[in-house]
Amino acid sequence: MAATASNLAHAGAIAPRTGSAAEPRPLRIALIGNPNSGKTSLFNQLTGLNQKVGNFPGVTVDRKTGVAQLTATQRAEIIDLPGTYSLYPKSLDEKVITDLLYDKAADNYPDFVVVTVDANNLRRSLLLFTQLGDLGLPAVLALNMMDVAERHGVNIDLAALERELGVPIIPMNARKGIGVAALKIVMAQRLDAPPVRFWEPDERLLLLVRQIRYYFDLHNDYLALHYAQQYRQIGFLSADEKNHIQELTQQAGFNATAAQAAETIGRYARINEILLETVTVTRTETREPISNRIDKVLTHRVGGYLIFLGVLFLLFQAIFAWAQYPMDWIDQGISALSAVIQANFSGPLVRLLTEGVLAGLGGVLIFIPQIALLFGFLAVLEETGYMARVTFLMDKLMRPFGLSGKSVVPLISGLACAVPAIMGARTIESWKDRMITIFVTPLMSCSARIPVYTVLVALVVPDQAAWGIFNLRGVALMSLYLLGLFSALGSAWVLKKVLKARERSYFIMEFPVYQWPRWKNVALTIYQKVQAFVLQAGRVIVAISVLLWVLASYGPGQQQATAEAQVRQAAAAQQWDAPEISRRVASARLETSYAGKFGHLIEPAIRPLGYDWKIGIALLTSFAAREVFVGTISTIYSVGQDADMGTLQQKLSAEKDANGQPFFTPARAFSLLVFYVFAMQCMSTLAVTYRETKNWRWPLAQLVYMTGLAYVAALAVYQVLA
């Protein structure tokens, strides 16, 4: 490629960085560009697996950094910034860009920026580039998707464009890695601020701009204009400084919106001039682009929804069926490991390790297959561009409930597991829409509720046909799912009324062109999501598991020992066999443990719902995770943890109340079912809500709201049916 060679020559003309080996810190380079401009691909190409995900302070945006080996001796730290169309942030996520680029004194201020530009969308992409140039940031322009541009008959005179823009331009195809080597060579050079200015503030603004510029000792007018525009959101300005800027802007009668619009128009005018001289388009294809033709099918008024349903079906198949195998392996692996430990060691510490720590760890690891599959699936949908079409199809349906088209994916994922679903809500730009989505997602019936539903429905709903075609149990199960869905939508509607919007909600969104997924990106996404879950949510889960284990294992004073002695006496009289004895002992110890005390303690509160202290214990232990309900019930009714569902159901049916009537009446069972539909019995979800909102108030509100809803609904069900 001749163009690349000319760029290399250009780059070579710049004085090489002197004494780079002795530099105290490596180069710091920020990667910035429009969404869908291939920024992520380029980041992955530059850094490989050498990346880490952190957080920008104060916001929930992932801060992806990585190390690139530019030359044999020189490395650079690469910061991947969120995709944006301009330097005027529209969402909280985009704000991290201006936070980083406004403050030259900041620790993370980049030495220069690499701007990724889609060669097919030069006009729009250059808007951001000219803003960066006018801020005085040294820049390299990575002209991406050259192959597509060539196919579309877009001819770019690279030498002329380089002259007009005043920065090195590297033509590339980041997906295939073409041009990355050349880019690295240019990046290893010392780059000066671009000599070209694209746009100057209007003369009428000059007084204001200069006042701000000299007051803050800024290096150029354009940065001063940004201070005037966005001082309210600049984190590093003090209240006094903000007040000062406010006074200045008021004196000058500064109209931020009009000024920004004038700037954008002015920039487009300049960009049009540049493109007129450097780009010629000879459309070779007269037919509609293939992407538009695919859209005709995928967003068809009937076909579009059918295909979406098909995709959903595949997604559920993956999460419920395929994920089951690795989940079983993890489950068995953890059990085997704790069996080995228990067989070879004994003592309270070993029990803490196996029943507290290992059990908690198992509770974390068991989610990995589902999280990995869900995020892999979503990443493929995102990469191909299909996700944008789904939000397009669903937006109108979701808006009455205060949700947007982008809420659909988290809500649907919530049927599998709320944890990855809440993490998936990140794609929603509007703060309010995102918070509503996160808040209501746990109301969707997740897979952990299935064991609870199965046991209780089988207990009270007869296994017979209804209306000829349906099975009554199936109808009951479906009603529970629908109850979850409608409560989620209803709660969203309430929140929409309560919550105040922080910014205006937009749906203006670019439709990415359809393309094959880049498997490397998909794999990296899976890896990063799983890692984030294990490290951040995992810690909380393990901690609470250990706490619950202590509560269920120890009791006040000698009560547990006394209870155990009584059981053993009874065992001698009744001649029980050894497994029966150990089951009865476990049951007696649990009753006299702190958890058992808790069950008795809350019995007055849950009696109106039809529950006794035994269910109280199960409610407490299943606070960690709903599926624990079945295990705890098994222990309480001393059927042993390994008993199959049939045994448990016989035990439960045989349970009698004080009057000798069956304890699990339909009223009690339905009350319990409804309780589990609504109750926030999942600390993983609470942990991940905290992680995503960075505020304890959200998980707390979720806990209080959902538990309250569960209590009231279960109360109503029991009182009406009983």
Partner 1 sequence: MAFFRRSPQIVSAQATARRSAKDLHVGETGTICCLEDPEMALKLLEMGCVPGVQVRLSGRAPLGDPLMLVLGDQEYTLSVRASEAATILLKE
Site residues (CB under 8 A) for partner 1? 85-86, 88, 90, 120-124, 127, 152, 257-258, 260-262, 264-265, 268, 281, 283, 289, 291-292, 295-296, 299-302, 304-305, 388, 391-393, 395-397, 405, 504, 506-511, 513
408 CB burial (10 A radius; 0-12, 13-18, 19+): buried
Measured distance CA(653)–CA(669) in Å, rounded: 11
Length in residues, the chain: 722
Q: State in angstroms the smallest separation of the CB of 275 from partner 1.
A: 10
Measured distance CA(376)–CA(303) in Å, rounded: 25
Q: State in angstroms the smallest separation of the CB of 248 from partner 1.
A: 21
74 CB burial (10 A radius; 0-12, 13-18, 19+): middle
Q: Are 136 and 125 in contact (CB under 8 A)?
A: no
Q: Closer to partner 1 at the Cβ: 91 or 441?
A: 91
Q: State in angstroms the smallest separation of the CB of 539 from partner 1.
A: 39
Q: Closer to partner 1 at the Cβ: 177 or 289?
A: 289
Q: State in angstroms the smallest separation of the CB of 258 from partner 1.
A: 5
Strands (E), 70-201: 75-80, 112-118, 139-144, 154-156, 169-171
Q: State in angstroms the smallest separation of the CB of 429 from partner 1.
A: 11
Measured distance CA(298)–CA(553) in Å, rounded: 56
Q: State in angstroms the smallest separation of the CB of 625 from partner 1.
A: 38
Residue 363 CA to its chain's centroid (Å)? 20
DSSP-derived secondary structure for 653-683:
HH-B-TTSSBSS-HHHHHHHHHHHHH---BH
SS3 (DSSP) at 480: helix
Q: State in angstroms the smallest separation of the CB of 392 from partner 1.
A: 5
Q: Closer to partner 1 at the Cβ: 96 or 530?
A: 96
Both structure tokens of 238: 């003090």
Q: Closer to partner 1 at the Cβ: 36 or 693?
A: 36
In angstroms and rounded to an integer, the radius of gyration of the C-alpha atoms of the chain is 31
Q: Closer to partner 1 at the Cβ: 187 or 387?
A: 387
Both structure tokens of 541: 């889960």
Q: State in angstroms the smallest separation of the CB of 198 from partner 1.
A: 15
Q: Which amino acid does the sequence have at 210?
A: R
Q: State in angstroms the smallest separation of the CB of 64 from partner 1.
A: 23
Q: Closer to partner 1 at the Cβ: 73 or 282?
A: 282
Q: Which amino acid does the sequence have at 436?
A: I
Q: State in angstroms the smallest separation of the CB of 246 from partner 1.
A: 20
Q: Closer to partner 1 at the Cβ: 505 or 559?
A: 505
Q: State in angstroms the smallest separation of the CB of 509 from partner 1.
A: 5
Q: Give the Cα-Cα-Cα angle 539, 541, 544 (nearest 5 degrees).
A: 110
Q: CB under 8 Å to 673, separation ≥6 — which residues?
A: 452, 453, 456, 457, 480
SS3 (DSSP) at 487: helix
Q: Closer to partner 1 at the Cβ: 291 or 479?
A: 291
Both structure tokens of 571: 């065992």
Q: Closer to partner 1 at the Cβ: 265 or 339?
A: 265
Q: Closer to partner 1 at the Cβ: 202 or 463?
A: 202
Q: State in angstroms the smallest separation of the CB of 378 from partner 1.
A: 19
Q: State in angstroms the smallest separation of the CB of 297 from partner 1.
A: 11
Q: CB under 8 Å to 92, separation ≥6 — which residues?
A: 59, 61, 431, 502, 503
The answer to whether the Cα torsion of 150, 155, 160, 166 is positive or negative is: negative
Q: CB under 8 Å to 490, separation ≥6 — which residues?
A: 401
Q: State in angstroms the smallest separation of the CB of 402 from partner 1.
A: 15
Q: Which amino acid does the sequence have at 145?
A: M
* Diameter over CA atoms, the chain: 102
Q: State in angstroms the smallest separation of the CB of 121 from partner 1.
A: 6
Please give the span between the terminal C-alpha atoms of the chain, in angstroms, as a whole number.
Answer: 81
Q: Closer to partner 1 at the Cβ: 152 or 568?
A: 152
Q: Closer to partner 1 at the Cβ: 258 or 573?
A: 258
Cβ neighbour number for residue 541 with a 10 Å cutoff: 25
The answer to whether the Cα torsion of 677, 680, 683, 686 is positive or negative is: positive
Q: Which of 675, 655, 653, 667 has its CA nearest to residue 610?
A: 667
Q: Closer to partner 1 at the Cβ: 23 or 285?
A: 285
Measured distance CA(210)–CA(258) in Å, rounded: 19
Q: Closer to partner 1 at the Cβ: 86 or 521?
A: 86
Q: Are 450 and 400 in contact (CB under 8 A)?
A: no
Q: State in angstroms the smallest separation of the CB of 302 from partner 1.
A: 8
Q: Closer to partner 1 at the Cβ: 309 or 572?
A: 309
Angle at which helices 697-721 and 666-678 cross, to 10°: 160
For residue 677, CA distances in Å to 328, 599, 628, 712 come to: 25, 21, 15, 12
Cβ neighbour number for residue 288 with a 10 Å cutoff: 10
Q: State in angstroms the smallest separation of the CB of 130 from partner 1.
A: 12
Measured distance CA(630)–CA(193) in Å, rounded: 65
Q: Closer to partner 1 at the Cβ: 494 or 513?
A: 513
Q: Are 137 and 166 in contact (CB under 8 A)?
A: no
Both structure tokens of 65: 């950094």
Q: Closer to partner 1 at the Cβ: 97 or 585?
A: 97
